[in-house]
Homo-oligomer: A and B are copies of this chain.
Amino acid sequence: MKEILSNVRDAARKLALLSPGSRNTFLECFAEKINLNRELLLNANQLDLKKNGANLSSVLLSRLKLDDVKLNQIIDGIRDVVKLPDPIGKLLAKTELDTGLILDKVSVPIGVLAIIFESRPDVIPQILSLALKSGNGVVLKGGSEATETNQAFIKIVREVENKLSDFPSGWATLIEGRESVFEVLNYPEYIDLVIPRGSNALVKSIMEKSQIPVMGHSDGICHVYVHRSAEPKEALRIILDSKAQYPAVCNATETVLIDQVIAKTFLPELVILANENKIELLGCKNCQMFDPKISAVENWSTEYGDLRMAIKIVEGPKEAVEHINLYSSHHTDVILANDQEIIESFLQQVDSASVFANCSSRFSDGYRYGFGAEVGVSTGKLHARGPVGLEGLLTYKYIMRGSGQVVKDYVGKEAKKFTHRIFS
């Protein structure tokens, strides 16, 4: 393992020095070769489907399945990444410390990423293109059900590498087996960032065991708070979208908090909406007093991920904010209200990556935010927070160009003064 990772590190250092043009050329060839090798890819995918068909639910099988429509999307996706502006070498700040002593802050790739992802074969080309665009090496661990398909994609990567002279070989490597994931976490000297996607339990255990920074989220426990000033019809429409538009994803809402002042009128309407849309409601004791058919909530930190939804009656904005700051996974939380003062105070006080007023929690997503490409959603507060675009795969370095300056001249009684002139 050590040797594999050390090779990726070396290749990544070379990758970072290539011109934007040659990274884009690689991506164009990659898209082209995927187009030319449809049969190879579909055959590999058929092998995966045959091996795992008996053990997977129909939902998982349809996710695993590759077809021409998905391949078209993959190819378009890579070409979209080519079109994004080059993120490397951006001048982030420029300061003159003194005449002839100029400090630049410049964006650079992070280095080597370890990405653990689920069994969707469309994910691997997406990750490969984002990593390459941002100049990072990658160690990939895909779902075991997609082994053949993933290997076929990596085979195409190798072919493109061979075709393009000067392109460092081995900047992307596939590892297999769950144990190998945990082994990787012990090599901070070779891996700079771990991005886990997949089941909450896996992500949680990676976050606990890793010696390397981890970017991502284990839970998506999002809230909608309906303030007494909210317009009820609009509130119901937004709640329905937040919960039911795609209940399995992390930005779907798990808990609705209802202002006690409107509970008597709003709760019956919410019950009707839930029944119409097959949403099962679980509630606090007060909710159960309104409607005994509502079963009790066991744990306010549950991510249902399906058509179950928790509801709670709260005294007012203060209790709503407290409940959210305590139970939210700090992903996305929403207030529905018309009172501007209440809205602004909620937006300030809720300590989550994304805080919304009067729209669906489902907008919390890199594509919808306009990032062009999404690396993932981070519920951590360091480096990147919320939906993360290509920017999240970059860091910066300070480059100083001097002309013989030494610190001694800037110290003591006759010290030279720094100019600290900031260039716009």
A355-385 interface (Cβ within 8 A of B): 355-360, 362-364, 368-370, 380-383, 385
The answer to whether B193 and A382 have CB atoms under 8 Å apart is: yes
The answer to whether B418 and A368 have CB atoms under 8 Å apart is: yes
Would A363 and B97 be within 8 Å (CB), given that A381-B110, A395-B382 are in contact? yes
The answer to whether B211 and A359 have CB atoms under 8 Å apart is: no
> How many A residues touch B, CB cutoff 8 Å?
72
**Which chain B residue lies CB-closest to A246?**
B407
Q: Kindly list chain B residues whose C-beta atoms are within 8 Å of the C-beta of A400.
A: 354-357, 359, 363
Closest CB in chain B relative to A39 CB, distance in Å: 31
The one of B241, B382, B410 that contacts A192, using a Cβ cutoff of 8 Å: B382
The answer to whether B402 and A245 have CB atoms under 8 Å apart is: no
The answer to whether B396 and A385 have CB atoms under 8 Å apart is: yes
Give a binary string over A69-93; 1 marks a CB under 8 Å from any B CB, 0 the rest: 0000000000000000000000000
| A123 part of interface (Cβ distance < 8 Å) | no
Report the separation of the CA atoms of residues A17 and B350 in the bound assembly, to the nearest whole angstrom. 11
Report the separation of the CA atoms of residues A246 and B407 in the bound assembly, to the nearest whole angstrom. 10
Report the separation of the CA atoms of residues A240 and B407 in the bound assembly, to the nearest whole angstrom. 10
Would A369 and B399 be within 8 Å (CB), given that A381-B111, A408-B245 are in contact? no
**Which chain B residue lies CB-closest to A387?**
B398
Q: Kindly list chain B residues whose C-beta atoms are within 8 Å of the C-beta of A363.
A: 97, 101, 400, 402, 405, 407
Would A398 and B103 be within 8 Å (CB), given that A368-B410, A406-B360 are in contact? no
The answer to whether A369 and B97 have CB atoms under 8 Å apart is: yes
The answer to whether B241 and A407 have CB atoms under 8 Å apart is: yes
Report the separation of the CA atoms of residues A396 and B406 in the bound assembly, to the nearest whole angstrom. 37
The one of B193, B360, B396 that contacts A407, using a Cβ cutoff of 8 Å: B360
Report the separation of the CA atoms of residues A386 and B396 in the bound assembly, to the nearest whole angstrom. 9
Q: Kindly list chain B residues whose C-beta atoms are within 8 Å of the C-beta of A130.
A: none
Would A359 and B193 be within 8 Å (CB), given that A245-B408, A351-B13 are in contact? no
| A238 part of interface (Cβ distance < 8 Å) | yes
The answer to whether A97 and B370 have CB atoms under 8 Å apart is: yes
| A263 part of interface (Cβ distance < 8 Å) | no
Would A245 and B406 be within 8 Å (CB), given that A193-B382, A356-B400 are in contact? yes
Q: Kindly list chain B residues whose C-beta atoms are within 8 Å of the C-beta of A111.
A: 351, 381
A185-214 interface (Cβ within 8 A of B): 192-193, 207-208, 211, 213
Report the separation of the CA atoms of residues A155 and B2 in the bound assembly, to the nearest whole angstrom. 51
A242-293 interface (Cβ within 8 A of B): 242, 245-246
The one of B234, B370, B407, B422 that contacts A362, using a Cβ cutoff of 8 Å: B407
| A325 part of interface (Cβ distance < 8 Å) | yes
Give a binary string over A321-334; 1 marks a CB under 8 Å from any B CB, 0 the rest: 00001000000000
Q: Kindly list chain B residues whose C-beta atoms are within 8 Å of the C-beta of A222.
A: none
Closest CB in chain B relative to A187 CB, distance in Å: 13
| A178 part of interface (Cβ distance < 8 Å) | no
Would A382 and B381 be within 8 Å (CB), given that A360-B406, A404-B359 are in contact? no
Interface centre among A349, A354, A400, by most chain B C-beta atoms within 10 angstroms, is: A400
A selection of 18 A-B contacts at a CB cut-off of 8 Å is A13-B351, A16-B351, A17-B348, A97-B369, A101-B359, A238-B406, A241-B406, A241-B408, A245-B407, A343-B401, A354-B399, A356-B399, A358-B405, A359-B403, A359-B406, A362-B406, A363-B407, A382-B383
Taking A13-B351, A347-B399, A347-B401 as given, write out 15 further A-B residue pairs in contact, using a Cβ cutoff of 8 Å, ordered by the A residue number.
Answer: A17-B349, A95-B369, A95-B370, A101-B359, A193-B382, A237-B406, A242-B406, A357-B402, A359-B402, A359-B406, A360-B405, A363-B405, A382-B383, A385-B398, A387-B398
A contacts, CB < 8 Å to B? 13, 16-17, 95, 97, 101, 103, 110-111, 192-193, 207-208, 211, 213, 215, 231, 234, 237-238, 240-242, 245-246, 325, 343, 347-349, 351-360, 362-364, 368-370, 380-383, 385-387, 395-408, 410-411, 418, 420, 422
